[in-house]
Structure 1
Amino acid sequence: MKGSHIRYLAPAVAAIVLLAGCAKDNGAPSSGSAAPASASSSAESSAAPALQPVTFTYFNAASAGKDGNTNETTLGKILEEQTGVNFRMEHLVGDLNTKLGVMLAGGDLPDVVVPDAGIDKMLDAKAFIPLNELLDQYGPNLKKLYEPYWDQLPAEDGSIYILPFAASKGFVPDMYQPGAFYIQRGVLKEFGYPKLETLDEYFDLIKRYKEKYPEINGAGTIGFEALTDDWRFFTLSNPAATLAGLPSEGEVYVDMATKQAHVTGDAEFTKRWLQTLNKANDEGLFDRESLVAKYDQYIAKLSSGRVLGFFDYGWQITPAVQNLLQAGDDDRQYIGFPLVLDPGVREQYMDPPVFATNRGIGITTSAKDPARIVQFFDNMVKEENQKLLFWGEPGSMYEVDGKGRFYRTKEQIEQIADPEFQQSYGFKYFSYYWPMGAGLYEDGNAYFPDRQPEVISASYTEGDKKILEAYGLQVFTDVYREPADVEERKWYPVWTAAKQQGSPEQMFEQKKMDLQRKWFPRLILAEPSKFEAMWEEYVGLFRKLDVKAYEDWANGVIQDRLAGKKR
């Protein structure tokens, strides 16, 4: 995943990142919302003063956040002036499936929903409306945005129910780090900034530092922290394949020679990953509480400065990055490395541009005015509005040099790094989870400020520059290899393929996760002398699942995508 999210936040390891309508009105717009004849006329009609103000409801199941109205923010107010549309935002609290189940049972759905991992539940309940005709009539800019991926949008019945988040226009390196094994900068400084390549080297360094400094900030030092809360469990299960030099395909890895998929759940690299954590636990380096902690508890521990290392994705640790930056102790901030199990393994941590069709935004059957919502989406994906939503207003949020390049001053960077400002200005509401582009604008500037070289270089603190210099890096993502050519993996990634609720592949994933949620903690916490026997017991249970059917499904996805078919 996954993937990113708040697109411009703090410097250093900065993290960035609804199927409408009532059938009774056939998607017709409310009074004054004329259908655009072209992308340019769309802009005029979207901003037409005849539009009556309206507020739609928006539920975001993918990200925590502050509930409120978009028109209470600077960006939201600008979009409301253009379209007359405001959204009342609600974010997930508690269990995703429970929340969606209650919504579906009650039948009174929000107008717009970002269902995240609950997408199949919503689709199976037929909670989203088809968007095809609405896009034809009111979405010229949306159709232009999604044109390279248009064949990937429809479901099996030919209807488009979801608008995916990011339609990429080329690869641009990101300032925030993708999956990485993070380690405190102070640990590296203590030992002369050693080069870390393998997982064993990483844990050896953590062990030595913890032995030397058993306490940090008056509390016990934590060697390694894990994240296992709810759907974020993938943060514990994903590293195994990555450590083996494999790109993240989900529940499988693909043999490049044969183009055949194999499950990862019982692979040797999964065993070695868990056995390393088992050893770390035996040596007092692993935080056992992390196996039952909630996400906010995880962030609190990272923010405390006591955690020496962890594996995660840049977009998930944004709050901790900001908290540590504000605390001002550079030694307690982190840098991530693309570690592997064995020396010389070719790492593949960085993804090429990926268009994930199994995550997105939909308009529900309860929506009051689907056409008006599509018009709003269509207006917001115009390039000038994409620049507004991700960069802000020129002259206050960013500057333009004589060559047309966007940049930010130190003062602007500091202002935008403030979480309260991000909320009040609207960056937190509009940074992701809407129809949007990615990559490069037509003028060559990056879609997202944290991918613009001029902003990246200006955003680094003195501490950032010091550690970059120590490792001979220009930006933090220089530690990664460039992503493989996506043409070599036309199926990539397998995990984005749609799965119907109750299908064999969906049931396999659910049963596999249930099994791993039970057994991975047991394997990590086991006495080392019992690990081998327990692993074999786990493997026996894993292989009772319908592994072959799942691999057959994954291989079907691969072959279809190689043949240019949507899956």
Structure 2
Amino acid sequence: MKTLKMLRLSLAMLLLSSLATACSGNNANNAGAETNSKPDSTNSANAGTEEVKMDKVTYTIFNGVAGSKDGNTNETTIGKMLEDQTGTNFKLEFLVGDLNTKIGTMIAANEYPDVLIPDAAIEEVLNAGAFIPLDDLIEKYGPNIKRVYGDDLDQMRSADGKLYFLPMSAQVGDFVPDPEPTAAFWVQRRVLEEAGYPKIKTLDQYMELIENYAAKHKDEGLTGMVSLTHDWRFFATANPPMHLLGYPNDGNVMVDPATLEATTYSGSDGAKQWLQALNTLNSKGMFDKASFVDNYDQYIAKLTSHKVLGFFDYRWQVQTALNVLKDAARKDPSLDGYNYFPLPVTFDESIADAYVDGPGGLVTNRGVGITVSAKNPERIIQYFDNMLKEENQILITWGIKGETYEVNEEGRYYRTQEQINKIDEAFNEKFGFKYYSWNWPSYGNNSTLSDGNARGVGYQPEVFQMSLTDKDKEILGKYDAQTYTQMFAKPIDRPWYPAWGFVKEQNSPELMWETNKDELTKKYYPKLVLSSPDKFDSIWSDFQKEWGKLDTAGYEKWTTEQVKKKVDMGK
């Protein structure tokens, strides 16, 4: 059995390190028997590794993203197996409150968790000198890190030429398309059903769909739309204009695939059209005003309340809410109408949507680093490296053969219906799928394993089809589709992707532009949405005056240069 095999191997060899999620503190609990063994790796040589004692140790991780429960990795099935292999456990702490405040407190005290995932505050952490360089550690203990990331690691280097953090993922093997869109305008299924499953392509059609349903159900206390604005997640409210104009997510810019020219949109006519649509919805009492004050947890709670008819967001950001609704509908099919359905909405039917991400480059401004507070950082890098072994990439995604997946005669991985039914959110948390789904060095979601199977369970076509309920298939059938992405346009080829991942130097004009732009949009967007319609144009005029003071042309020029550099690197 694979489990037993892995456990036997773990007693014979010291596997290398893997990735982490989030916690604070700086404990190194040394308990248990010590053994000597050499790290092993898959598809890589063991040259340069050293003997390390296998005493038990607990490291702390802080993850600058909210939405998960604090806990220890060894309290999950996956985490315990990885601890058996490496002797290492991680105590995870996730963000509560404001990210900049939390990171600022760490920097002021010069006290950090052993491992830090600072997310959008990574520049502040780097500037504070909180991360140790990883070059020597990777050279000694990171054969799998080098195998998976290869030359891409050079893209992560700081101005001094050193590597201070690891990216969260890298594309390995062939690219497997996602059967679900990266982002969408979402609507409750019951809304579509009552309307006769119309084809919704434009923002006007989407708003009309929601308004008509709400008008027929006035006594149910429904909310037409909510939007997320909390902290760095403000992009969920600010990004829609780029998608409505037919561009994929490149952060603050839209990149012309033909000319590679980058242009901003936050102060554009597209932004005005989007905000005016929300303003109109608000004037009819169907936009949730609390969207501008709610935190992330409150937002997720509202999405699972059955009261919200629609919203725009990226799937990864609302996956927890989607999973809760799906789990409930599996147990009680009468609740299926509260599930959300993704729609490829643009401003005009002549505009092709761009919500589905295709192959892209490495994200270079996000990652996980080992801090100056960490003792024995070699144990951490070994854990990361060990996690990148293919057998452990299978473990953290597919799980255990015979328990959470099977293999057919052709060597294809699959899940039985019984396994699919039992793997709900509660199971994901207990088994460890949730802890290990992101925030660790790993193969990218669209990657393949060496035997051709998809690394991600949901990316295996036969598994995705089996995971669909009868109601899923019925609704997809109404739109002549077998997967959700078949309703969307094919992804645009973007060798520069993601433009939002370009690294900006401290105090650079580009970083200052982004800071000022964020302050400006966070000041004016709420006013524009919540004002009476007759005041909208006046507020927009005030916003434009302030917008004109920004060096937007300089930012666009710099971003265009970075796009072209990235494209040239791939040639």
Give TM-score scaled by structure 2 length: 0.89
In the alignment, structure 1 residue 186 sits paired with structure 2 residue 208: no
Residues 107-118 of structure 1 mapped to structure 2, 5 A cutoff: 107-118=110-121
Q: 1:542 to 1:93 in 2, by over 3 A?
A: same
Q: 1:280 to 1:126 in 2, by over 3 A?
A: same
For 1:441 and 1:172, the matched residues in 2 are separated by: 11
RMSD of Structure 2 on Structure 1 (CA): 2.4
In the alignment, structure 1 residue 384 sits paired with structure 2 residue 387: no
* Match in the other structure for 2:338: 332
Is the Cα–Cα contact under 8 Å of residues 226 and 287 in structure 2 kept in the other structure? yes
Question: Which letter maps to 2:352?
Answer: R
Secondary structure, counterpart of 1:371 in structure 2: helix
* Match in the other structure for 2:299: 298
Is the Cα–Cα contact under 8 Å of residues 227 and 236 in structure 1 kept in the other structure? yes
From 156, 159, 170, the equivalent of 1:156 is 159
In the alignment, structure 1 residue 429 sits paired with structure 2 residue 435: yes
* Match in the other structure for 2:130: 127
* Match in the other structure for 1:514: 519
* Match in the other structure for 1:313: 314
Is the Cα–Cα contact under 8 Å of residues 210 and 224 in structure 2 kept in the other structure? yes
State the identity %.
46
Question: Which letter maps to 1:99?
Answer: K
**Structure 1 residues 383-427: Cα deviation after superposition (integer angstroms, max 9, x where no partner):** 11100111100110101111111111122112211x222122111
Is the Cα–Cα contact under 8 Å of residues 145 and 381 in structure 1 kept in the other structure? yes
Structure 1 unaligned segments of length 5 or more: list them. Answer: 1-16, 23-29
For 1:273 and 1:452, the matched residues in 2 are separated by: 36
Question: Which letter maps to 1:526?
Answer: S
Residues 436-475 of structure 1 mapped to structure 2, 5 A cutoff: 436-438=442-444, 439-475=447-483
After superposing on structure 2, the runs of 4+ consecutive aligned residues of structure 1 that deviate more than 6 Å are 35-38, 43-46
For 1:45 and 1:422, the matched residues in 2 are separated by: 34
Q: 1:33 to 1:190 in 2, by over 3 A?
A: same
Question: Which letter maps to 2:228?
Answer: L
- Greater displacement, 522-531 / 203-212: 522-531
Offset at residue 104 of structure 1 (A) = 1.6
Is the Cα–Cα contact under 8 Å of residues 198 and 343 in structure 1 kept in the other structure? yes
In the alignment, structure 1 residue 59 sits paired with structure 2 residue 62: yes
In the alignment, structure 1 residue 267 sits paired with structure 2 residue 268: yes
- Greater displacement, 49-58 / 272-281: 49-58
Question: Which letter maps to 1:561?
Answer: K
Is the Cα–Cα contact under 8 Å of residues 56 and 88 in structure 2 kept in the other structure? yes
In the alignment, structure 1 residue 351 sits paired with structure 2 residue 357: yes
Q: 1:98 to 1:424 in 2, by over 3 A?
A: same
Is the Cα–Cα contact under 8 Å of residues 59 and 90 in structure 1 kept in the other structure? yes
From 406, 409, 417, the equivalent of 1:410 is 417
Is the Cα–Cα contact under 8 Å of residues 359 and 493 in structure 2 kept in the other structure? no
Q: 1:411 to 1:269 in 2, by over 3 A?
A: same
Offset at residue 201 of structure 1 (A) = 0.5
* Match in the other structure for 2:178: 174
From 69, 81, 88, the equivalent of 1:85 is 88
**Structure 1 residues 421-466: Cα deviation after superposition (integer angstroms, max 9, x where no partner):** 2122111211110000021111111111111112111111122111
Give TM-score scaled by structure 1 length: 0.89
Question: Which letter maps to 2:350?
Answer: G
Secondary structure, counterpart of 2:116 in structure 1: strand
- Greater displacement, 544-553 / 140-149: 544-553
Residues 392-403 of structure 1 mapped to structure 2, 5 A cutoff: 392-403=399-410
For 1:357 and 1:174, the matched residues in 2 are separated by: 22
* Match in the other structure for 2:206: 202
Is the Cα–Cα contact under 8 Å of residues 176 and 477 in structure 1 kept in the other structure? yes
Q: 1:504 to 1:33 in 2, by over 3 A?
A: farther
Is the Cα–Cα contact under 8 Å of residues 35 and 137 in structure 1 kept in the other structure? no
Secondary structure, counterpart of 1:89 in structure 2: strand
Question: Which letter maps to 2:276?
Answer: Q
Is the Cα–Cα contact under 8 Å of residues 179 and 458 in structure 2 kept in the other structure? yes
- Greater displacement, 477-486 / 301-310: 477-486
- Greater displacement, 493-502 / 250-259: 250-259
**Structure 1 residues 32-64: Cα deviation after superposition (integer angstroms, max 9, x where no partner):** 465669855659989x89511111111111243
Q: 1:37 to 1:360 in 2, by over 3 A?
A: closer
**Structure 1 residues 146-178: Cα deviation after superposition (integer angstroms, max 9, x where no partner):** 015233121222111111111013432224431
In the alignment, structure 1 residue 104 sits paired with structure 2 residue 107: yes
Offset at residue 334 of structure 1 (A) = 1.0
For 1:49 and 1:458, the matched residues in 2 are separated by: 44
* Match in the other structure for 1:550: 555
* Match in the other structure for 2:508: 503
Is the Cα–Cα contact under 8 Å of residues 246 and 347 in structure 1 kept in the other structure? yes
Offset at residue 114 of structure 1 (A) = 0.8
In the alignment, structure 1 residue 223 sits paired with structure 2 residue 191: no
Question: Which letter maps to 1:171?
Answer: F
* Match in the other structure for 2:7: none
Is the Cα–Cα contact under 8 Å of residues 78 and 432 in structure 2 kept in the other structure? yes
Offset at residue 321 of structure 1 (A) = 1.8
Is the Cα–Cα contact under 8 Å of residues 59 and 89 in structure 1 kept in the other structure? yes
* Match in the other structure for 1:236: 237
